[in-house]
Amino acid sequence: MERLEATLQSIGEPNLEAAQAAQKRLDNLTKPLGALGIMEQIVVRLAAIQGKTIPELGAKVVMVMAGDHGVVAEGVSAYPQEVTPQMVLNFLNNGAAINVFSNYTGSKVVVTDVGVMGPAIEHPRLNVRKIREGTRNMAREAAMTEAEAVAAIEVGIELVQAEIDAGAALVATGEMGIGNTTPSSAILAVFSGVDLDIITGRGTGLDDSGRHKKIAVIKQALELNQPDPGQPLDVLKKVGGLEIAALTGVIIGAAARRVPVVVDGFISSAAALMACKMNQRCQDFLFASHLSQEPGHRIMLEYMGLQPILHLDLRLGEGTGAVLTFPIFEAAVKVMKEMATFGEAGVSNKE
C-alpha cells in the first residue's frame, strides 16, 4: 500500500503554460485554425504533459495484463476460460493482432500474467507476477481481498515505471481475460448509476439469452457485495479483476512520471476509471484511443471526459485500438516540429 499511496501523491498537474505556447504555435502554422482537429488537441495535451511547447515521442510500449475471473463459472462468457492462457502464449509467440499492430507501429509488447488460472506459462518474454489464479466469483463473494487488489495495482506501477526508465515515452494499455467485460460493466454501474441493461454488452459474442444472464449475474454481484462508490478500492476488490487492477497501476505509475497513456477499449477504460477515482489528476494523462462496440464504453468515456480518436467498431481488446493510434500521435508531433508558420513560409495569414 505504501508504494500505491506514494505514487498517487506524486501525480502532478499539467503544464498550462506549455499548452498555451503549443496552441499559439499551432495557430501560427500554415493552415486554418483548428484544421487538424483532434490531432491539435493531442499535441497541445502532450505539451502540457511534457512541459514542452514542441513535445517529443520516444519509445512506445503496450502493457498487456492477463488475468482470469471466477465469475465465468456463472456462464457470462461465450468462450471457455482456457482461452486466456492460450491467448497469452499466442501473444508471446507473436501470433495475435496486438503483435501485428505493434510490429507495424514499432512498439514493444510487454505481457504479464497477474492472475491467469493454472500453472505459470514458462516463456522468457512473460512477466509472471501472479497474485492468485483468477479472481473469486464476484456473484458469490468479493472478487479479491484489498491486499490482493493493491498488490495487483503495484505490479502495474512497478512494471510500467521500469519501461519508462528504459525509455518508454508513450504507453498503451492492453488486457486478456475471458469474462472481463462483466467486472468492467459492474465497475461502470457502481460509479455511473446507469442501468445495467444499457451498459452491459455481448462481450465476445453472447446471444440475447446470454446477455440477459450476464446482466442478472452482475446485479447479483452488486447486491451481494454492496461496493461503495466513494471508496475506489472497495469497488475494485469486490467486483473488479486482477488485470484491471494491474492496468489501474499502469495508468497511475505512468501519470506519476508524466508519461501519456493511450487507453484501449472497455476493459482498459474500466481501469482508467478506477485510476481517476483514486486520483482525478490521472485524467490529464489519458487519451482514449477508440470507441468500441461495447455499449458501456461510450458512457464510460463520456463520464471521464475523454474523446475517442478512432471509430472502427473494434471489440478485440489486447491493446489493439490503442496501438493503432500511435502513428497519429507521431504525426501530430511532426506537424508541430516540421510544419512552417505563416511567417516562415511567406504565406499571408487572415486579417
CB atoms under 10 Å from CB of 306, counted, come to: 19
Surface-to-core class of residue 122, CB atoms within 10 Å of its CB (0-12 exposed, 13-18 middle, 19+ buried): exposed
DSSP secondary-structure letter at 62? Answer: E
Distance of CA 273 to CAs 25, 269, 307, Å?
32, 6, 14
Note every long-range contact of 86-93, with CB atoms under 8 Å and residues 24 or more positions apart, other chains counting: 87/176, 88/113, 88/116, 88/121, 88/126, 88/176, 89/121, 89/123, 91/64, 91/176, 91/318, 92/121, 92/123, 92/125, 92/126
CB distance 184 to 297 below 8 Å: no
In the structure grid, which three cell numbers stand for residue 161, read together?
Answer: 515505471
Contacts of 220 (CB under 8 A, 6+ apart): 139
CB distance 39 to 47 below 8 Å: no
The radius of gyration of the chain from alpha carbons, rounded to an integer in Å, stands at 20
Backbone angles phi, psi at 332, to 5 degrees: -65, -40
CB distance 131 to 229 below 8 Å: no
The one catalytic residue in 2, 318, 330, 351 is 318
CB distance 48 to 16 below 8 Å: yes
Q: Are strands 126-128 and 168-176 parallel, antiparallel or unpaired?
A: unpaired
Question: Is 318 annotated as catalytic?
Answer: yes
What is the set of active-site residues? 318
